[in-house]
Amino acid sequence: MSEAAEARASGSRWRVAANRRWIIMALLLALTCYAPFQLVPFRVFQFTMVLIYAVALLGLNLLVGHTGQISLGHGAYFAVGAYTAAILLHSWHVPYPATLPAAAVAAFALGLAFGVPAVRLRGLYLALVTLAIAIFLVPLLKRFESVTGGSMGLTLAKPVPPAWTGLAEDQWLYFLTLAVAVVAFLVTRSVLRSRVGRALHAIRDNEAAAEVMGVRLSFYKTLSFAWSAMLAGIAGCLYTWVIGYVSPDSFVVTLSITLLAGLVVGGLGSYWGPLLGGLFVMFVPSISQSVNDAAPGVVFGLLIIAVMYVAPTGLAGLAGRAAYSIKKTLRKE
Amino acid sequence: MRVSVIGCTAMLLAAVAACGGRGGTEPGATASGPCQGQQTTGITDKTIKLGGIYPLSGPASAYGDIPKGIKAYFDYINAEKNGIGGRKVEFVVRDDGYQPPKAVEEARRLVEQEQVFALFQTLGTPSTTATWDYTNQRKVPQIFVATGASKWGTDTKHPWTIGWQPNYISEARVYAQYLKKEKPTAKVAVLYQNDDFGKDLFGGFKRAIEGSGITVVGEQSYEVTDPSIDPQMRNLAGSKADVFLNITTPKFGSQALAADAKNTAWNPLHIINNVSSSITVLKPVGFENVQGVVSSTYYKDPRDATWNDDAEMKLYKAKMAQYAPGTDPNVPFFTFGWAVADSFNKTMSAAKCPTREGLRDSMRSLSNVQINMLLPGVTMTTAADDGFPIESMQLMKFKGEGWELFGNVIDTRKEFGPLTG
């Protein structure tokens, strides 16, 4: 075979692979759109929550998986988004679609504010500072009772599906969340494929080398923090729409830790990690409760350990490895 | 290629979870005959299925003992009393970890997937607040929620939700009533937890003493996250009050009792709220330091020797040993569970129709229903405009190594009129 022919062949093989990828994406999207009409509202609600966690994890993945920083305080940004939406809905009676950009901006600003000092910190020190955010937010929310509703929280009306859609409330919320999640996914993906993404990866892999190559560390790290916080804030806003109730007790430190655990289990730095992590965060606690009624926490912990032992690169990594070995076996035959 | 394979896996996961049709949108089963058209989901001639949501994990997991008491009671009546009116009770417990979003998920699971007849207890004000819109939209009874917030009774938009234990405002009224009689010119110092519980109780107290000679001369609040309440106690001691109202949760209750005992220059009458009146709170302070402390209660304390010969208490201890072996029946949460399960039994038995509507109407028309585990004289009464089953309590004073009841049961309805928002 001549070199040109070989190049053509590999090119077409690449095209086939790309096509297949698009077909699979389309199938996946079709399935996610079809599912809410087949499932009971309770399941639809669960998948809505999976998507919400996935959006938050998308942000966390940007920071932890792609930039190599750590955050134990993402629950706080999530809470800021949720409370921004809740306060706007409750005190200002803003139409609910308008709360989404507001929550995004608020979380972005907060992420930026914390990103600046965080640039000077590394590793454990950074982890501690971000943990502090998550810890002090809860008492703070309880203090300003006239605005935040104190420890009683705020109860809100859920978005009503427009009549022309003919959808039930849970389906409407699902599609709203799905739309936001898809947009967030595509935007993050294109960001990561751009200059910015390469800069972030360079920082993760070797800060010194990245700096030598002309990557402005402080700029990109701060940006990564802010973007990551913004996605968490967007997830928080969706959460407020779906649950219709916010209280400080919903956003304790455990939320931040659970998010991080979900991401690590799902797969750090992979595209599908956030979605798998969302599924894990949502379903594994209830599965572990059905395994043992008395101590769901213990079973949950053991499952995390088991997953990390079997799949050190997360579920996404495990799937990738499985696919690779299947392909290899197929090729041998 | 790698990405798409992972995508396949995600899709597969989604597809696996997606099995099952959309059954929930169809209207549930309904009754015929005199109760025609009423919902009979979760109830048959032989069974009744209930769902409860409690924090079995997380910081509030101590409350996870309540469903054990309930289960022991239901196991007992299923095995020995042929259930509730011939219907065997199935009680499904789910864990929300005291997290409102989890409570919403579990409420939906119980109603839509487990197809329970009613939610019998959700625990905690946040979890109940997060779920009651849903249960009322779906017209599912959410009966005897385990929280003392007053809004379950004062609210008029949620007829399917009702509390059980005396609400915090009623409890405050009991103390106010006691002071009006014993110390009509009392100067009161108050320490309260800065949340709905503390504010409900303190607010109720302030309203109850309006127009009397009793005054609040000092008030201090604390956060659940505070490490210590010593600064607050020093400030209160400076107020020269002769009554100290201790509105705290157990950990802080102990601290306040200890601080009061340590300060020999300030010796007010110490009133501690029911939430912190457990022996486990008083013991670390030393029994000699808490003599004469006043509190109030409404159900029988398994550790109180007064009830050693009480028929219900003997039954309770015997059945706990039989149906929940290995547990200590002296834990008040088990007793609480037993009492509330008995209350459900009586309420369900009194329902005219074995339907969700029947239970709703029954729980809102209780008339002096006697529950043997409650103190003699404490009964359950509700009406269309009265959503508080228990509004009577009895005072108790700490003497020797335990509480001693004194005075009559105080019916706050009679003394203060109905409680409204």
In chain B, which residue's Cα lies nearest the Cα of A254?
A: B58
- pTM of the prediction? 0.81
Residue A190 lies in a domain: yes
Q: Which of A151, A284, A313 to mutate to test the interface with B (most CBs of B within 10 A)?
A: A151
**Does B176 share its domain with B231?**
yes
On chain A, the residues whose CB falls within 8 A of the CB of B196 are: 150-152
Q: Over chain A, what is the mean pLDDT?
A: 85
Residues B291 and B306 in one domain: no
Look at residue B308 and give its three-state secondary structure: coil
Mean pLDDT of all residues in A249-261: 87
Alpha helices (H) in B263-331, listed in sequence order: 279-282, 311-323
For residue B332, give how far its alpha carbon lies from the nearest alpha carbon of chain A (Å). 19
Interface size between A and B, measured as CB pairs under 8 A: 169
In a domain, B130, yes or no: yes
Q: In what order do the strands lie in the sheet with B142-145?
A: B88-95, B47-54, B118-122, B142-145, B161-163
Q: Is B52 helix (H, G, I), strand (E, B) or coil?
A: strand
Residue A323 within a domain: no
Q: Phi and psi for A262 in degrees, rounded to 5?
A: -60, -40
Residue A71 maps to a domain: yes
Q: Which of residues 211-230 of B touch A (CB under 8 A)?
A: 223, 225
* Cα–Cα distance measured from residue A70 to residue A74, given in angstroms and rounded to the nearest whole number: 10
**B361, B357, B364: which is closest to B380 by C-alpha?**
B364
Domain edge (last residue) among B238, B273, B297: B297
Q: Is residue B67 in some structural domain?
A: yes
Per-residue model confidence (pLDDT) at position A315: 84
Which of these ranges, B3-17, B110-124, B125-139, B333-347, has the smallest mean pLDDT?
B3-17
* Amino acid occupying residue B421: G
More confident residue, A13 or B195: B195
Residue A240 corresponds to which tokens in the numbers above? 């407020």
Name residue, tokens 């969302």.
Answer: A278
Place of tokens 């454990």: A124
| B161 and B307 part of one domain | yes
**B 178-197 near A (Cβ less than 8 A):** 194-196
N-terminal to C-terminal alpha carbon distance within chain B: 62
Q: What is the residue type of B34?
A: P
CB B214 within 8 A of CB B184: yes
| Cβ neighbours of B227 (radius 10 Å) | 8
CA distance B57 to chain A (A): 6
Nearest to A320 among B5, B24, B97 (CB): B5
Q: Is A27 in Cβ contact with B57 (below 8 Å)?
A: no
Cβ contact, residue pair A43, B17, below 8 Å: yes
The 3-class secondary structure across chain A, one letter per residue, is CCHHHHHHHHHHHHHHHHHHHHHHHHHHHHHHHHHHHHCCHHHHHHHHHHHHHHHHHHHHHHHHHHCCCCCCCHHHHHHHHHHHHHHHHHHHCCCHHHHHHHHHHHHHHHHHHHHHHHCCCCHHHHHHHHHHHHHHHHHHHHHCHHHHCHHHCEECCCCCCCHHHCCCHHHHHHHHHHHHHHHHHHHHHHHHHCHHHHHHHHHHHCHHHHHHCCCCHHHHHHHHHHHHHHHHHHHHHHHHHHHCEECHHHHCHHHHHHHHHHHHHHCCCCCCHHHHHHHHHHHHHHHHHHHCCCCHHHHHHHHHHHHHHHCCCHHHHHHHHHHHHHHHHHHHC
Distances (CA, A) of A234 to A54, A196, A261, B404: 11, 21, 20, 56
DSSP secondary structure code for residue B35 in this structure: G
Q: Tokens 């020190």 appear where?
A: A125
Q: Residue A273 falls within a domain, yes or no?
A: no
pLDDT band at B378 (very low <50, low <70, confident <90, very high): very high
Cβ–Cβ gap A155/B133 under 8 Å: yes
CB contact under 8 A, A323 and B6: yes
Shared domain for B154 and B65, answered yes or no, is yes
**Tell me, what amino acid is at B414?**
K
Same domain, yes or no, for B205 and B288?
Answer: yes
CATH value at residue B158 = 3.40.50.2300
Distance CA A45, CA A48 (A): 5
For a pLDDT cut of 90, what percent of chain B falls above it? Answer: 63
In a domain, residue B405? The reply is no
Mean pLDDT of A304-315: 82
Whether B214 and B108 share a structural domain: no
Indicate the pLDDT class of residue B24, thresholds 50, 70 and 90. Answer: very low
Task: Please give the average per-residue pLDDT across B314-329, as a whole number.
Answer: 94
Closest-approach residue (CA) in chain A for B5: A323
Residue contact B10–A32, C-beta within 8 A? no
Contacts A43 to B, Cβ<8 Å: 17-18, 20
Out of A32, A40, A315, the one facing B14 most closely (by C-beta) is: A32
Please answer whether residues B412 and B391 qualify as being in contact, where contact means their C-beta atoms are separated by less than 8 angstroms.
yes
Backbone torsions φ then ψ of A154, nearest 5 degrees: -125, 135
Distance (Å, whole) CA B174 – CA B178: 6
Quick one: CA torsion of B242, B150, B54, A283, rounded to 10 degrees? -130
Are residue B161 and residue B40 in the same domain, yes or no?
A: yes
How far away is chain A from the Cα of B291, in angstroms, using its nearest Cα?
Answer: 34
Amino acid at B125: T
The DSSP element (H or E) to which B246 belongs, if any, is strand B243-247
Tell me whether strands B47-54 and B88-95 are parallel, antiparallel or unpaired. Answer: parallel
Interface test with A, best of B9, B132, B168, B225 (most A CBs within 10 A): B9
Cα–Cα distance measured from residue A107 to residue A71, given in angstroms and rounded to the nearest whole number: 14
**Around A170, how many Cα atoms within 13 Å sit in the side-chain half-sphere?**
24
> Which positions in chain B touch A265 (Cβ < 8 Å)?
none
Same domain, B91 and B148: yes
Q: Is B68 on the interface with A (CB under 8 A)?
A: no
B251 lies in which domain range?
A: 169-297
B283-303 CB burial, b ≥16 within 10 A, e <16: eebeeeebeebbbbbbbbbbb
Structure tokens at A273: 């990690």
Q: Does residue B43 share a domain with residue B99?
A: yes
Question: How does DSSP classify residue B88?
Answer: E
Query: Is the CB of residue B109 less than 8 Å away from at least one CB of chain A?
Result: yes
Identify all chain B residues contacting A37, using CB atoms and an 8 Å cutoff: 22
B9 pLDDT exceeds 80?
no
Task: List the single range of A75-79, B14-18, B80-84, B190-194 with lowest mean pLDDT.
Answer: B14-18
b/e A99-120 (16+ beta carbons within 10 angstroms → b):
bbebbbebbbebbbebbeebbe
User: In terms of pLDDT, which residue wins out, A316 or B186?
Assistant: B186
**Contact partners, residue B229, CB within 8 Å, separation at least 6:** B191, B220, B222, B248, B252, B255, B256, B259
The amino acid present at B194, given as its one-letter code, is N
Residues B324 and B285 in one domain: no
Answer positive or negative: Cα dihedral of B373, B404, B175, B280.
negative
Taking alpha carbons only, the member of A71, A61, A66 closest to residue A199 is A66
Q: What long-range pairs does B346-352 form, CB within 8 A, spacing at least 24?
A: B346/B371, B346/B380, B347/B143, B347/B380, B348/B48, B348/B84, B348/B85, B349/B84, B349/B85, B352/B35
What pLDDT, on the 0 to 100 scale, is given for residue A291?
A: 76
Q: How many Å apart are CA A262 and CA A279, to the nearest integer?
A: 9
Interface test with A, best of B6, B54, B122, B201 (most A CBs within 10 A): B6
- The predicted complex's ipTM stands at 0.75
Element (H, E) at B4: helix B2-17
Q: What is the pLDDT of residue B16?
A: 43
Report whether B321 contacts B329 (CB < 8 A).
yes
| B207, pLDDT greater than 50 | yes
* Site of tokens 């629950």: A75
Chain mean pLDDT for chain B: 88
Instruction: Determine, yes or no, domain membership for B277.
Output: yes
**Structural domain of residue A106, as residue ranges?**
44-252
Verify that B293 and B175 share a domain, yes or no. Answer: yes
Q: Would you call B160 helix, strand, or coil by DSSP?
A: coil
With respect to residue B75, please indicate whether it lies within any of the assigned structural domains: yes
Rounded to whole angstroms, the Cα distance separating B15 from A95 reads 34
| pLDDT tens, residue by residue, A108-152 | 999 998 888 877 887 788 888 889 888 888 888 887 878 888 777
Q: Which of residues 118-147 of B touch A (CB under 8 A)?
A: 125-126, 129-130, 133
First-last CA distance in chain A: 23
User: What pLDDT does A155 receive?
Assistant: 84
Domain count, chain A: 1
Report the pLDDT value the prediction gives residue B70, as an integer from 0 to 100: 96
Predicted pLDDT of residue A333: 62
> Chain B 45-64, CB below 8 Å of chain A: which residues?
56-58
Residues with Cβ within 8 Å of residue A299, at least 6 apart in sequence? A288, A289, A291, A292
The total number of structural domains in chain B stands at 2
- Model pLDDT, residue A5: 58
